[in-house]
Structure 1
Amino acid sequence: MKPLPALELVTRLEDAEWLDPVAKKVRKVVKRTVRPRWARDILHGVPIGHPVHPLAVQVPMGSWISAAILDAFPGNNRAATVLVGVGAASAVPSAVAGFMDWSQLHPQQQRVGLVHAAANITAVSLYTASLVARTNKQQGAGKVLAFLGLGAVSLGGFLGGHLSYRQAAGVNHSEDIPHRFPSGWQALAPLEDLPEGKLHKRAVAGLPLVVFREADTVNVLSDVCSHLSGPLHEGKLKGASLSGGLTGDGGEPCVVCPWHGSTFSLRSGEVQAGPATARQPRFETRVTGGLVEVNLPGAG
């Protein structure tokens, strides 16, 4: 079966460079609006382990779809009006979370995301107008505006699906590592070949790893950032001195992704700061006869 013609139009949006100046301005507004790191992490979904936006949109979408069903039958004006209002109000926090995620995406993803946002803003505007019409006892106009809003938010949903499932925005880009890495202990490198207190890249079974040595302790994570596949070994080292000891400014050593600033503990792989929400695969290590070996639990 051939894809729908609309898919080709959406694909063209990925290369629509004319959207970049608009995206740049919107990014600046988003970054100025939400400054605290803790607020950004909450909006990204760091505490729950996945993006907040796809979860939050269920409330306005569910409300508006339910309102459309009620509008199709007589005698449900009051209930439909309440649902339209709930959807319009709940769309605001959902949009804030969505813009926060969008601000940390690749240019091709941001172009599609910008049109996705425009469709949803149009939908919210139509539903707000519908709510005003309904409260002024203009039920016919309110229903027409609501059905137009449903069409707009459906278009936005289609673009959101493309963004998530075709362009892989918001997914865990390290999820495949355990399925590709061989089971059991694998040779990494002689301990003496690994520099102390620095980020170092190694490959095992064709998969890139980021290595951080603390004396005789070797910490190893997947080098592919779970957010958008950034090379962690090119990132900044945080919380550790060049000699491998802690600096005393914040605890355990962390790596900051060079692309979007996601921060991971080098000892556990846990997310310390977003936009990443999924932890990095962490490899167990041991030193046998001077040779460092790694093992990924659950691999294979």
Structure 2
Amino acid sequence: MKLLNRFSGVFDTLAKKIEQAEVLDAAADPAAEGAGRLVSGPTVRSLLGGTPLGHPLHPLLVTVPIGAWATAAALDALGNKPGARSAVGVGVLVAPLAAAAGVHDWATTQGGERRVGWVHGLLNTVTLGLYAASWVARRRGNDRLGVLLTLPGLALLGTAGWLGGHLSYARGVGVDVTAFEPEIPEWVDVAASTDVQHGQLTGVSAEDTPVLLTRDADGTPRALADRCTHRGAPLHEGQVEDGCVRCPWHDSLFDLRSGTVVMGPASRPQPVLEVSEREGRLLVRRPAGS
């Protein structure tokens, strides 16, 4: 157990050093800005962000090359050369798609997260190159070279995968930032009725939970969680567009009535709060399961 803890500590230390390595910004920042321009179209952003799936696409796609290349290692050990070559090829074929989704997600990160993502991407690029070269070697009949090329590739794949896990589970990249906001089981008075108007976005607090208030054209009050599920942007600083609110940071579009994602890069809907209007005051609540 002590050995395992020491192993984990080494990787944690490595991740922290990468997060603090400002020297990486000179390359990572321009690359992220360029990537953001490449995936700026609304349809592309929604698809790569996983909006139709309801969760980020990148974690789903990466399972294919990881599984394929792990399978190739097992088949190599068993002496199944054709099977190993096919498994390597499947990973090489799907990895660019996984990379595209990952680059899309990475383009909206900042600071330490962007630096870790940059190193994660570089390692995966080298890994893909090694496996592509391995497939070519195997295709030409040089299976020995093909196997040798996958050995460093597998090691890099594991290291890059750990950094990817660090981004998701330690830094929360890709996680619905409203997931841990508490329930509001009882009605809470948050604003005067006159403070909330159609076409305007008003940010308030309900028991320390940020809430977005507005009204429909017919005067019906609406309330959503104010922190964007994608990266936590304050939605009340965004814009109202055709019954939707547009995120001020990354342009995700959410339906003000249902919280549904109309356009990505967000993949998770905004939590909707119940609203009651009484004696010139607006009250909200968010019962369990809502």
Distance 1:28 1:203, change over 3 A: closer
TM-score for the superposition, normalised by structure 1: 0.89
Residue type at the aligned position of 2:196: L
**Counterparts of 2:285 and 2:109, CA distance in 1:** 32
Distance 1:142 1:283, change over 3 A: same
Distance 1:49 1:32, change over 3 A: same
**Counterparts of 1:69 and 1:221, CA distance in 2:** 49
Distance 1:258 1:15, change over 3 A: farther
**Counterparts of 2:50 and 2:10, CA distance in 1:** 34
Cross-structure match for 1:294: 284
Residue type at the aligned position of 1:209: V
Cross-structure match for 1:279: 269
Cross-structure match for 1:158: 162
Q: Of 238, 241, 245, which residue of structure 2 is paired with 1:238?
A: 241
Residue type at the aligned position of 2:219: D
**Counterparts of 1:6 and 1:43, CA distance in 2:** 29
**Counterparts of 1:131 and 1:86, CA distance in 2:** 10
Residue type at the aligned position of 1:184: E
Contact 2:245 2:254 (C-alpha < 8 Å) held by counterparts: yes
Cross-structure match for 2:120: 116
Cross-structure match for 1:73: 78
Cross-structure match for 1:10: 15
**Counterparts of 1:188 and 1:33, CA distance in 2:** 41
Contact 1:269 1:281 (C-alpha < 8 Å) held by counterparts: yes
Cross-structure match for 2:204: 202
Q: Secondary structure at the match of 1:201?
A: strand
Deviation of 1:195 after TM superposition, in Å, equals: 3.9
Contact 2:183 2:288 (C-alpha < 8 Å) held by counterparts: no
CA deviations over 1:203-234 (Å, ceiling 9, x no partner):
11111111112453111111111111111112
**Counterparts of 1:33 and 1:291, CA distance in 2:** 46
Matched, 1:39 2:44: yes
Cross-structure match for 1:264: 254
Q: Secondary structure at the match of 1:292?
A: strand
Deviation of 1:100 after TM superposition, in Å, equals: 0.8
Cross-structure match for 1:131: 135
Distance 1:196 1:262, change over 3 A: same
**Counterparts of 1:280 and 1:227, CA distance in 2:** 9
CA deviations over 1:271-300 (Å, ceiling 9, x no partner):
122221111111111222332221224269
Distance 1:234 1:33, change over 3 A: closer
Matched, 1:219 2:222: yes
**Counterparts of 2:35 and 2:195, CA distance in 1:** 44
Contact 1:181 1:205 (C-alpha < 8 Å) held by counterparts: no
Contact 2:49 2:264 (C-alpha < 8 Å) held by counterparts: yes
Instruction: Provide the aligned length of Structure 1 versus Structure 2.
Output: 284
Q: Secondary structure at the match of 1:225?
A: coil
Q: Of 54, 61, 80, which residue of structure 2 is paired with 1:56?
A: 61
Residue type at the aligned position of 1:148: P
Residue type at the aligned position of 1:193: D
Gaps of 5+ in 1: 240-251
Gaps of 5+ in 2: none
Of the structure 1 ranges 24-33 and 273-282, higher mean CA displacement relative to structure 2 is found in 24-33
**Counterparts of 1:8 and 1:218, CA distance in 2:** 49
Residue type at the aligned position of 2:110: H
Residue type at the aligned position of 1:265: D
Residue type at the aligned position of 2:43: W
CA deviations over 1:44-92 (Å, ceiling 9, x no partner):
1001111111000111111100110111123x11110111111111101
* Cα RMSD after superposing both structures: 1.8
Contact 1:202 1:211 (C-alpha < 8 Å) held by counterparts: yes
TM-score for the superposition, normalised by structure 2: 0.92
Residue type at the aligned position of 1:230: A
Of the structure 1 ranges 82-91 and 184-193, higher mean CA displacement relative to structure 2 is found in 184-193
Deviation of 1:196 after TM superposition, in Å, equals: 4.1
Contact 2:183 2:287 (C-alpha < 8 Å) held by counterparts: no
